[in-house]
A and B are shown apart, each in its own frame.
Chain A
């Protein structure tokens, strides 16, 4: 097992020099020197700047838009509203479902605004200060309409309707039912019920979005620089939105400063900025303000969930019934309706579940769209199952970890088919749980907790055992193709260029892919240059999201390398006078069987390009492309354990120690894997503890700045203690699984479980996130006012905490 950055030296049985090594990242020198370029860092000659007028109303009719004053400002080049847009398409939604309602989603508001921040007009000027000044001079005459904010009210008969054509605010329904649900619930010893909210979050990539477009009419070439996770899909959609052939559109993603799903999308601005550049014949730049980022970049989560778990008194799970209301916001973005369906797919977690019924309703509200945010549907699923497991364990009087262990499939049962129809590839849930138990000092934590409770100290131990779905995914199960492209080209000098369609945004693919290819070709990672994010250079690809970069994108590059190796062996066999199968590619050297004859890597590469002595039918040059279609998803898993102390008087939570044992299959660079897990845990903790995007009853965003939206900060987080188990995936030749979202998926329920565990003697059963002190304090008060007898008191011990009774 590789641990703490030591090279494992072996990958799927093969010896390796670079794979498994903690190699410093190749991308870092330019980033730490401040000489790299994010989209907003680019400046083109004659560039104009764009600013948007956005709606202050959540729902209103637009009577008139007066732009004269803005147009009169010196330096203003163009002002456009919906009526000026000619020949443009709409914002795309990639989903298809039988009853899915897809609203018309124009590039600027058309007659109505449906969320605060919806763009109404665009101003283009010589500089950004002028553009923003002029935007403030635009007067929009609105008639406010009734606002729909609350999902349960949105589906009531008397609710205002957001899209009148549909006559309902229900965007879709999705039902999954397997097993004899009624029977298992009827015969269960106990049915454990809980309503849980999964609050709305803002992704807050540190780099806000930015778009630059330049159109050269002579060449008929539109180049769009955009901070996106999906350059090729965006290219296709831009061509549709602006009405150019796709061959005339080039999308470039320079450095991308984080995405977390928020840039796995196609936005209004990615249509209108290119359109403006075409109309004006000059480059146009729009750089999102953080305020705009909060209002008009997708949000995540936002579901209301009623969960029921049927169990036997020995702790065997019998069935699960879940009703989900999922907030879509006012329009669909690219994948908005997909996200709650991923919750349905993963709702069984890592447990044997004989029966399941899940009903999901997607609801329109006057808010920004939700869509994929780190984990995308899976954190929601894991949260629901892991919380209800904890609540059930408590009701059954079982240890929460033992209750989980009882319901895990055994390692020999893999591949394991779930009640939701997935085939989990490989896992040893027990081993990860055992290691987390040891590493966290679980038994000692439990002992301390018991003593603490007697003394009015609320120590909690949180456990979550998760499985996630990664390497998204087989094309049959994805909206826009789930494969990925990889091209590997050995240049005449022996340097290697790798082109990947999995355009990254901080994941370090330039390093990990170089490690991978270097091992395959017996060269140094410094000699491998990974290129991404330019649709003119890179064959069509899908992008980086859903923890697919390495497992799908890396595999594509790996497979392309296999094609090249076959070609190298053919040529080497010809030159060395042996059969291709008797050639091995060593470190910088090509060897014939027996080791007597050999040639250098450089000599062989040169021979392929000079091409004077090649076998009949041999194609000169050394380039291969592979489009990798995964046969299955991958299913990383793990166990997280954390310890907390809750102040019974103030509701404040102290995060003490956080242990995560994750299994993402084979590891290419342990340092990068650990970094992904660190960041993921922090993000999941953010949801559990602090983050919440709040719209008030008027649909106003009250957390629209970083002052109000509480992000995880350095001084708030504990140290993370990591370990790994390694269960290679059989779904790809490298045995990798994916790690980008694991931390976020495992940590959220772990924290909430710990806090509810700490407060269990006070009768607290569940607290909705985020666990702000005020909310925790209220939960304590509420539990106490229900005159529940605390467990500790019932056991004849000292009353758990006197202070909380004072106000009750």
Chain B
């Protein structure tokens, strides 16, 4: 592997995972956001070798078979996407947010996704999608707690 190979190119070209998109090559648009050891990173400015021995999660890794992740469900139900190009990055960024703040306010969501650009939706339904996911995930957590 070339030392200069970017993580996003490794994912797309070598691993065949094209769900992670390239929108700017300068870490400004967020379309290439993936999780590196659980934290959102913009994979267009991470070298593939920097991910050596670490865990990388892309949008393809969220759904369990036919069962969508709650964030994916949120985006579908709340019409949080139109052309869909920024969506994988938005979803991964939201994943990081919800892992650290299970019940974010509208303002917190807007702050959290402000490194991810969407040209289609005006963000309102993305905020709705993340809130919907937050509600579902909280419910599932409390259901699991209740079951114990």
Contact = CB atoms under 8 A, between A and B. Distances in A.
A258 B28 contact: no
B79 A207 contact: no
B26 A290 contact: yes
B60 to A, nearest CB: 5
Interface string A695-735: 00000000001110001111111011000000000000000
B79 A713 contact: no
A32 B75 contact: yes
B119 A260 contact: yes
B128 to A, nearest CB: 10
Given A682-B123, A683-B119, A37 B18 contact: yes
Contacts of B126: 714
Given A28-B75, A34-B19, A290-B26, A714 B82 contact: no
Given A37-B18, A207-B85, A675 B79 contact: yes
A38 B21 contact: yes
Which secondary structure characterizes the binding site on chain B?
A: loop
A714 B29 contact: no
B24 interface: yes
Interface residues on B, range: 35 or more
Contacts of B13: 43
Contacts of B110: 714-715, 717
Contacts of B43: none
Interface in B1-40: 2, 4-5, 12-13, 16-26, 28-29, 31
Among B22, B24, B62, B111, the most chain A Cβ lie within 10 Å of the Cβ of: B24
B84 A290 contact: no
A287 B31 CA distance: 15
A706 B76 contact: no
Contact of B117 (A34, A713, A720): A713
Given A27-B84, A678-B122, A720-B124, A711 B22 contact: no
A755 B18 CA distance: 44
A742 to B, nearest CB: 13
B26 A705 contact: yes
A135 interface: no
B109 interface: yes
B20 A505 contact: no
Contacts of A773: none
B81 A28 contact: yes
A153 interface: no
B134 interface: no
B81 A258 contact: no
B72 A32 contact: yes
A444 interface: no
A256 interface: yes
B103 interface: no
B21 A678 contact: no
B60 A206 contact: no
Most buried by B among A25, A508, A679, A681: A679
B132 interface: no
Contacts of B26: 290, 705-707
A682 B68 CA distance: 29
Given A706-B28, A707-B28, A717-B123, A32 B2 contact: no
Interface in A484-529: 505-508
A34 B120 contact: no
Interface string A646-687: 000000000000000000000000011011101111110000
Contacts of B111: 714-715
A289 B122 contact: no
Interface in A243-292: 255-258, 260, 287, 289-291
B98 interface: no
A260 B85 CA distance: 14
Contacts of A258: 82-83, 85, 119-120
B48 interface: no
A33 B114 CA distance: 22
A618 interface: no
A705 B24 CA distance: 8
**A37, A260, A682, most chain B CB atoms within 10 A:** A682
B130 to A, nearest CB: 10
B121 interface: yes
Interface string B63-96: 1000010001001110101111111100100000
Interface string B34-60: 000000000000000000000000111
Most chain B Cβ neighbours within 10 Å, of A31, A36, A678? A31
A505 B118 CA distance: 14
Among B91, B110, B126, max chain A CB count under 10 A is at B110
Contacts of A680: 122
Contacts of A290: 23-26, 29
Nearest to B26: A705
B82 to A, nearest CB: 4
B85 A206 contact: yes
A36 B84 contact: yes
A769 B16 CA distance: 44
Q: Which of B23, B77, B86 has the most CB of A within 10 A?
A: B23
Contacts of A40: 18, 21-22
A129 interface: yes
Contacts of B68: 29, 32-33
Contacts of A716: 114
Contacts of A36: 84
A505 B83 contact: yes
B75 A671 contact: no
Given A31-B84, A31-B87, A717 B21 contact: no
Nearest to A206: B85
A714 B123 CA distance: 6
Nearest to A208: B23
A288 B75 CA distance: 28
A691 to B, nearest CB: 11
Q: Which of A255, A260, A287, A290 has the most CB of B within 10 A?
A: A290
A40 B85 CA distance: 11
Contact of B82 (A35, A507, A681, A715): A507
A505 B13 CA distance: 24
A206 B83 contact: yes
Nearest to A721: B124
Interface in A1-57: 24-25, 27-29, 31-38, 40-41, 43
Contacts of B4: 129
B84 A255 contact: yes
A508 B82 contact: yes
A195 B43 CA distance: 46
A94 interface: no
Contacts of B5: 129
A764 interface: no
B29 A34 contact: no
Contacts of B113: 714
A257 B91 CA distance: 16
Given A206-B31, A506-B83, A717 B114 contact: no
B18 A41 contact: yes
B106 to A, nearest CB: 8
List of 8 A-B pairs having minimum Cβ-Cβ separation, nearest first: A34-B19, A257-B85, A506-B83, A31-B84, A682-B122, A34-B59, A678-B122, A41-B18
16 contacts: A24-B76, A31-B84, A35-B19, A37-B18, A129-B4, A207-B23, A255-B84, A258-B82, A507-B82, A675-B120, A680-B122, A681-B122, A682-B122, A712-B122, A714-B127, A743-B122
Given A290-B25, A712-B123, 20 more contacts: A32-B87, A34-B19, A36-B84, A43-B13, A129-B4, A205-B119, A207-B83, A256-B83, A674-B79, A675-B121, A678-B121, A678-B122, A678-B124, A680-B122, A682-B123, A711-B119, A714-B113, A714-B123, A715-B107, A717-B123
